[in-house]
Chain A
Amino acid sequence: MEQNEDIRLMKGNEAMAEAAIQAGMDAYFGYPITPQSEVLEYLTREMPSRNFLALQAESEVASINMVYGAAGAGARVMTSSSSPGWSLMQEGVSYIASAQLPCLLVNVNRGGPGLGTIQPSQGDYFQATKGGGHGDYRLIVLAPNSVQEMADFVFLGFELADKYRNPVLMLSDGAIGQMMERVIFRNREIKKIAKPWATTGKTKDRERNIITSLFIQPEKMEKVNLELMKKYEEIEKNEKRYEEIFTDDADYIIVAYGLSARISHKVVLLAREKGIKVGLLRPITLWPYPSEVLNKLADKAKGMFVVELNAGQMIEDVRLAVNGKVRVEHYGRMGGIIPSPEEVEEHFEKFIKTL
């Protein structure tokens, strides 16, 4: 181990919390819920010796509204939760998106619907990417697949949030949050930008700042909608991220994100041992969605196989992306069950036999 590199073995949740501190987070507001309670625990433990605020709110509803207030006041701010708590936050998220407040939100996805299970799931994909709250809005959605990325995407998330004045959601899951892996923290420059729109007190040299999501006249509301759409277009143009593994010569493409992508990576290795040419496309941003690369891959692939820990949600985006060029099928487990690579590989082989 090199002395000048800070290498640690950490849970995904802890790595995310540590990264937030290192990324210059001013404030964190949260409410305990499994499987992400380590975040608030870690932060409250570190708070006395480091310069930030961590506050346990009385509910997720309060947390997200504290985030609204702090973000509106110009702070670098964050909250995290898991599925049921994330549902509770949706009203506030819609307000934050409308008021264009930069902040980092994290959902460590567990099984649902309802109170569900505390085991890992990807059942919140629709909610994350299609708008969990009311109204026309988008979150930038980052999907980490390792403990390292849980840390890295905190830095990236804060920067994207500031750049576009838009909430960023990190959609992780119980497994990535709870598992331990090696994570490297490098000394990074903290990039913060001026926020002249923040409500910090109306000084004489500027007009007053109002943070609001209320635009009661339809003409004004539509103007705001159009402004948001323009911003989303810009994000779609600039921020699509994905990883390709063995796609160069692939006859088949597996599409998976987060934990499913880790499992699918092994599936690819298992299948290639048997001489099946298969590659993996891992969307890193779930919104904006890397549709173009999928469409291009569909030109030479014979079929696509979407692996998710849900009943089939991202598959809709894959089908839209390939627009009928190839057959796209889904394999998923639910309820917090994680399929083994061997199990997925078996279903993948069944699928390619039908092509």
Chain B
Amino acid sequence: MENKEILTPQCIVEGDDTYDLVYDKSHIMTETRLHYCPGCGHSTAHKILAEVIQEMGIQDNVVGVAPVGCSVFAYDYLHIDWQEAAHGRATAVATGIKRCLPDRYVFTYQGDGDLAAIGTGETIHCVNRGENIVIIFINNGVYGMTSGQMAPTSLAGMKTTTSPYGRDVHTMGYPIKVSELIAPLPGAFYVTRQAVHTPNAVRKAKKAIENGFKYQKLGKGTSFIEIISNCPSNWKMTPVQTNEFIETDMIKYYPLGDVKVPSKEDLKELK
């Protein structure tokens, strides 16, 4: 990503109090132009992740692990230390980092193909060991980067380039509910499913990410934050239509909300 063109509108002039600053781009976001398609939920997810890191003041103490998939370039966008993992192996890489740097905040950012297909084993075993990391799982039901193949989370009947007649669950398997799958593991400390298709959903998703990072300090297990996202390009919809599709179809199968929350006892040490 060579394009370092600055897109932030320069309307605030220092010393000029004509305008009130009501919103500012997180300084954790780099100046690199995002490669995501217009309307893609990744951008929003990046933004709230950056805001959490900035607001918690942990920039110098956090290491991210990027996956293979649409967010393969995540390390270009957040101004922190990153490692880029092989496809599906982000949680193993994060385990290696966290075990050697236990006082750092470590998180992975992974899509559904990465986390729930090729990396299923790593995901389950990472959570089962209760690695003290945050896993951010972007579920948009499709392989975005390779342009629209069926994902393990593609809904029943969903048309993709490799299920051109719709996903037939009898031959292609059922969409995996990863949050429900891993929540029963004792190593899972906090499991929640959020979305980024409405302002309210974005606020809740941000709060969930913040919780995850805070819980990391307790050292009591893995925080798993699934974010239902969209893919206008590969769903072949306008961004507005994708938001509607999330409401009418995605959330019906993947209900939003907490799947597993820490007990009050567990959170006692948190102020």
Contacts and interface: CB of A to CB of B under 8 A. Distances in A.
A214 B145 CA distance: 14
A77 B86 contact: no
Contact of A211 (B2, B84, B125): B84
A92 B83 CA distance: 13
Given A58-B125, A201-B63, A201-B104, A213 B99 contact: no
Interface residues on A, range: 35 or more
A72 B97 contact: yes
Contact of A67 (B75, B84, B96, B121): B96
A68 B93 contact: yes
A352 to B, nearest CB: 49
B196 to A, nearest CB: 25
Interface in B37-94: 59-63, 65-66, 72-73, 75, 79-86, 89, 92-94
A53 B62 contact: no
A127 interface: no
Contacts of A61: 89, 92, 121-122
A201 B72 CA distance: 20
A73 interface: yes
Interface stretch (A177-185, A202-210, A291-299): A202-210
A199 B97 contact: yes
A26 interface: yes
Contact of A201 (B2, B61, B73, B100): B61
A69 B83 contact: yes
Interface string B144-174: 0000000000000000000000000000000
A176 B140 CA distance: 51
Contacts of A63: 92
Given A66-B93, A201-B62, A201-B81, A75 B100 contact: yes
B95 interface: yes
B1 to A, nearest CB: 9
B100 A65 contact: no
B12 interface: no
B92 A95 contact: no
A199 B122 contact: no
B37 to A, nearest CB: 17
Contact of B121 (A27, A59, A95): A59
A214 B66 CA distance: 11
A58 B125 CA distance: 7
A235 interface: no
A217 B85 CA distance: 18
B59 A58 contact: no
A62 interface: yes
B63 A53 contact: no
Contact of B82 (A95, A199, A217): A199
Interface in A280-310: none
A212 B84 contact: yes
A70 B95 CA distance: 8
A243 B86 CA distance: 39
B249 to A, nearest CB: 33
Interface in A88-131: 91-92, 95, 99
Contacts of B2: 217
A200 B63 contact: yes
Given A62-B121, A62-B122, A73 B60 contact: no
A316 to B, nearest CB: 30
B92 A57 contact: yes
A201 B60 contact: yes
A68 B81 contact: no
A55 interface: yes
A74 interface: yes
B96 A27 contact: yes
A257 interface: no
B251 interface: no
A57 B92 CA distance: 9
A66 to B, nearest CB: 4
A80 to B, nearest CB: 15
A170 to B, nearest CB: 20
Interface string A72-88: 11110100000000000
Interface string A208-248: 11111110010000000000000000000000000000000
Of A58, A70, A202, most B-chain CB atoms within 10 Å: A202
Given A77-B100, A202-B60, A213 B82 contact: no
A59 B100 CA distance: 19
8 contacts: A26-B100, A53-B99, A62-B95, A73-B97, A77-B96, A208-B80, A209-B82, A214-B73
Which 9 residue pairs spanning A and B have beta carbons closest together?
Answer: A69-B96, A69-B93, A70-B96, A65-B92, A212-B84, A66-B96, A65-B89, A199-B81, A58-B125
Interface of A: 26-27, 29, 53, 55, 57-59, 61-63, 65-75, 77, 91-92, 95, 99, 199-204, 208-214, 217
Given A66-B99, A68-B89, A73-B100, 8 more contacts: A66-B96, A69-B93, A69-B96, A72-B93, A74-B100, A201-B104, A214-B72, A214-B84
